[in-house]
């Protein structure tokens, strides 16, 4: 099972190197999908900064959903720190078995998690299942803009293993890999690909 030091990741990465990227990605998701109300899952959200950033600019009720209990603990601390307890919660669970009813969620977002799912196809099928007709999924990995990616790379230039890991994940997960999964699941959607990231984007048909 994937493991991480949730508290260290939250403080040093999410609130450190990556601090600027979450508000930018949240705004990009809002601009693309237009979803401002209803229920949102931040799937594999870890300590929760993308979901928190999404809640900050919408009226969405956001659930940070992650496999690791340590991430849920830290996510709850981050939610309280931002005083978003009324609209943001954290729950433990895995992407391949999302504990939500069919057709119950307006938006599913995820940054950086899909690379670590045991079964990406099953996870995407689960996302599609829980979405309401007309609901949106915006899943993948990225840094918001090429400029923000350059800032992160500069900040982590003394850690060649980080860039090696990122390059390896990109090589193993090219856009056509995700497009094939969507086609096999018969989910109409597309892959947004660029130097700053790769995103699987689809809207559940009415």
- Which pLDDT band, with edges at 50, 70 and 90, does 1 fall under? low
**Does 151 fall in a domain?**
yes
Structural domain span for residue 96: 6-203
Residues with Cβ within 8 Å of residue 185, at least 6 apart in sequence? 121, 124, 125, 128
Domain count, the chain: 1
Burial status of residue 175 (CB atoms within 10 A of its CB: 0-12, 13-18, 19 or more) = middle
Separation of alpha carbons 65 and 44, rounded Å: 6
**Does 1 fall in a domain?**
no
- Which pLDDT band, with edges at 50, 70 and 90, does 184 fall under? very high
Per-residue pLDDT of 49-106, as tens digits, reads 999 999 999 999 999 999 999 999 999 999 999 999 999 999 999 999 999 999 999 9
Alpha carbon 125 to its chain centroid, in Å, reads: 16
Please work out, in degrees rounded to the nearest 5, the angle formed at the alpha carbon of residue 11 by the alpha carbons of 9 and 16. Answer: 95
**Does 51 fall in a domain?**
yes
**Quick check: 153 and 163 in contact, CB under 8 A?**
yes
Q: What is the CATH number of the domain that holds 103?
A: 3.40.50.150
**Does 22 fall in a domain?**
yes
With the C-alpha atoms ordered 151, 15, 8, 166, is the resulting torsion angle positive or negative? Answer: negative
Please work out, in degrees rounded to the nearest 5, the angle formed at the alpha carbon of residue 92 by the alpha carbons of 82 and 103. Answer: 95
**Quick check: 20 and 28 in contact, CB under 8 A?**
no
């Amino acid at each position: 099972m994937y493991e991480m030091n949730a508290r260290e990741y939250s403080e040093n990465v999410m609130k450190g190197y990556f601090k600027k990227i979450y508000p930018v990605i949240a705004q990009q998701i809002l601009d693309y999908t237009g979803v401002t109300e209803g229920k949102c899952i931040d799937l594999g959200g870890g300590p929760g900064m993308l979901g928190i950033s999404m809640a900050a600019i919408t009226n969405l009720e956001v659930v940070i959903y992650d496999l690791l209990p340590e991430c849920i603990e830290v996510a709850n601390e981050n939610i309280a720190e931002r005083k978003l307890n009324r609209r943001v919660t954290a729950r433990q669970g895995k992407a391949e078995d999302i504990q939500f009813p069919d057709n119950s969620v307006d938006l599913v977002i995820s940054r950086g998690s899909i690379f670590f799912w045991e079964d990406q196809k099953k996870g995407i099928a689960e996302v599609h299942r829980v979405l309401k007709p007309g609901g949106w999924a915006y899943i993948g990995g990225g840094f918001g803009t090429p400029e923000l990616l350059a800032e992160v790379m500069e900040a982590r230039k003394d850690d060649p293993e980080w860039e090696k890991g990122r390059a390896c994940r990109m090589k193993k997960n090219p856009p056509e890999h995700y497009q094939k999964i969507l086609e096999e699941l018969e989910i109409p959607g597309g892959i947004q690909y660029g130097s700053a990231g790769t995103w699987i984007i689809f809207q559940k048909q009415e």
